[in-house]
Chain A
Amino acid sequence: MKHLISVQDLSHSDTLHILDTARELDRVTNGGSKLLPTLRGRTVVNLFYEDSTRTRLSFERAAKRLSADVVTFSAKGSSVSKGESLKDTALTLKAMGADMIIVRHPSPGAAHRLAHAGWLESSVINAGDGKHEHPTQALADALTIRAHLRPDAVDFDGLTIGIVGDVLHSRVARSNIFLLSGLGAKVVVIGPPTLLPVKIESWPCTVSYSLDATLPELDAIMMLRVQQERMNGTFFPSELEYSRVFGLNRARASSLPDHAIVMHPGPMNRGVEITAEVADGSRSVITDQVSNGLKVRMAAMYLLIGGEVNVA
């Protein structure tokens, strides 16, 4: 494996290997307190065309824990904002000797193009491409679910996981639906029909328009962020109506089974898709998702470009 572009490129054993590696790397670094020399002398470029402090920092920390040199190339204040093409940026990074490029881009398929258009030879990790995919977030979520609900099992057979909200515009939802169902979980997407892609019935998930009716079945519930720009009345009538029907509040959380966990890929709109009480409550594993994000990103880098170097 050279690139990590889409969870659909991962075989079942690839996925498990990444999750196992994440756990193992966490163990040998004592939870990140010790640096590994694995990527010493290698250059990892963070190429971010969208603002994303959380994901960028997570990749940066992951790379540094593996002793890589990290270069951050953000669209703001670089030639990108002067209209340089993705290709020209790629050629520049190639000339600078980037071993790995972590790319966040608003266009679906941008990471795929960077990996496969013949512009450069670096490994590419997709850190979110438009509405397409965000594979390391889904891997982080899988690691979180595994830690809380299936610590001793390999697969997610028997688990039902709800993904709630704006699936249409969510790369996190896409990656999670395919990854979690591939691990054996039953995935239920829940939201207003305007925020679900057409023909989603043919995806490996079931569809519900009622959060209340679905809650008692869920072992994990993942609340998606509602983007500010969707709240203009064309996808749903109002923020208030959305949160009344699809927001996770204390009353709804109490309908979940006792063992169920509450997830959110962040950043949250507290008071819209999730109330502060639930986000900070005992079921919430939201901060675990962040720390697991770091672990799976380390694992992905290690597996993609760490294998070829001898650790001194």
Chain B
Amino acid sequence: MLLNSHLIVGSRPYGEQVCDIRITNGIITELGSDLEPGNLPVIQGSGLISLPSLVDLHTHLREPGREDAETIASGSRAATLGGFSAVFAMANTTPVADTAGVVEQVWRIGRESGLVDVFPIGAVSVGLKGEALAELGAMAASAAKVTVFSDDGNCVSDPLLMRRALEYVKAFDGVIAQHAQDPRLTQGAQMNEGELSGILGLTGWPAVAEEAIIARDVLLALHVDSRLHICHVSTAGSVAIIRWAKEMGVRVSAEVTPHHLLLTEDLVSSFDPIYKVNPPLRSRADTLALREALADGTIDIVATDHAPHPHESKDCEWDSAAFGMLGLETALGVVAVAMAGIPDWSWRTLSDRMSSAPAKIGRAVNHGRPLAVGEPAHIVFVDPQKTREVIPTQLASLSGNTPYAGMTLPVSVTDVFFNGVHQVRGGELNG
């Protein structure tokens, strides 16, 4: 009896040639035409596109502390339904993931949920306060083997602390993921600063507050020759700085969220806090620059910044509402909408930006692997013809704060294999 073994026939890996896929004991063991099933269960994949499962370098699972908004288990369900095999859980929990104890707890609960691999991100500074380095080495050496460190939610704004963090993580091949937001330039900020923020009377979040930090940090990373990752890049100016930094040889990578690729600030005119997010939704010109940068590789990856919040945190006036929106279950569809019509964008490019590249940045060696013989069977099947309406109450997340409610996405995740386990079937969690 073979466990976690299947033959999936007729799908098109990366949207290219039709190819059958044999999975044996959780490993891809054969690819080709007209494979013999033997005694394996056969799954019909014709019409579907097969891709390596997705990897999210930026997820808020809220546990420990805000289990009313999301838990590691519910977030894992949302992740697998969205086609992910691995998520990196941000450190801004309560307590903060700034010690080996907390990151090991998150890692263990993730293992117990068993639907995706949960990689905890460690805080850069104690309590995310930006004052003293957290125990980065202890977190790296823990069972959770932390490689990504971030104060996300807060910017590491002190340049000296940022420099030290970049230097310190070189000892264990870590990377600092910066939430680029100058705190002084964004005091009380509520939305993108521009013509609309002035008219609406909402305090502006200027692009320069992001760009100035990125410019500083790429220079620091160059100076100390360390790895820097920029979270949720949101402006055309940031793209230009990152492009320049890469030309200069800086070891910098960057992410963009699905919502910054698709949505624009004019939605804020509704004063509906479902559109309140940090960094804020920007202008149309920014979204176009971000799409182009994602296609040409200046921006390396898509990351969701999945940020669940309970209903009451959004059912209020704008200023009082929480920042953030859900992302895991809609990421693939939203990226498909945003990137439609961009030259040179293909399923293979998408697979790089949403699977192999984020896995490499996070050093998740068993994820983001190609669909090839000998690789772990983390595979997502996508129906490129099957549309799906986003209905907040039907999401697996404990929260419903999706800005896409009522929107019809052009593609659907139908089946997901995790280590060869067929855990999502027909878009539903198995059992």
Contact = CB atoms under 8 A, between A and B. Distances in A.
* Co-complex (A, B): yes
Nearest to A173: B201
Interface string A105-149: 111111011001100000000000111110000000000000000
Contacts of B204: 198
B201 A105 contact: no
Interface in B152-210: 190, 193-195, 197-204, 206
A197 interface: yes
A197 B312 CA distance: 31
B201 A108 contact: yes
Contact of B197 (A116, A130, A197): A197
A282 interface: no
Contacts of A199: 194-195, 198
Given A85-B312, A109-B271, A112-B271, A200 B198 contact: yes
For chain A, give the interface size range: 20 to 34
A86 interface: yes
B385 interface: no
B201 A132 contact: yes
A113 B318 contact: yes
Contact of B271 (A113, A171, A174, A200): A113
Interface string B308-322: 000010011111100
Interface residues of B, number: 23
A244 B271 CA distance: 38
Which one of A85, A109, A130 has the greatest number of beta carbons of chain B within 10 Å? A109
Interface in A187-204: 197-200, 202-203
A127 B201 CA distance: 15
A12 interface: no
A131 B316 CA distance: 18
B195 A108 contact: no
Contacts of B203: 131
B199 A174 contact: yes
Nearest to B315: A87
B316 A133 contact: no
A116 B317 CA distance: 11
Interface of B: 190, 193-195, 197-204, 206, 270-272, 312, 315-320
Contact of B201 (A85, A113, A117, A129): A129
B317 A133 contact: no
Contacts of B272: 113, 117
Contacts of B312: 85, 87
Contacts of B318: 107-110, 113
A200 B195 CA distance: 7
A71 B110 CA distance: 54
A104 to B, nearest CB: 13
A129 B320 CA distance: 13
B202 to A, nearest CB: 5
Contacts of A200: 198
Contacts of A87: 312, 315-316
Interface in A81-96: 85-87
Interface string A198-228: 1110110000000000000000000000000
A109 B198 contact: no
Which one of A108, A131, A133 has the greatest number of beta carbons of chain B within 10 Å? A108
A138 to B, nearest CB: 14
A105 to B, nearest CB: 7
A198 B193 contact: yes
Contacts of A168: 198
A280 B199 CA distance: 32
B200 A108 contact: yes
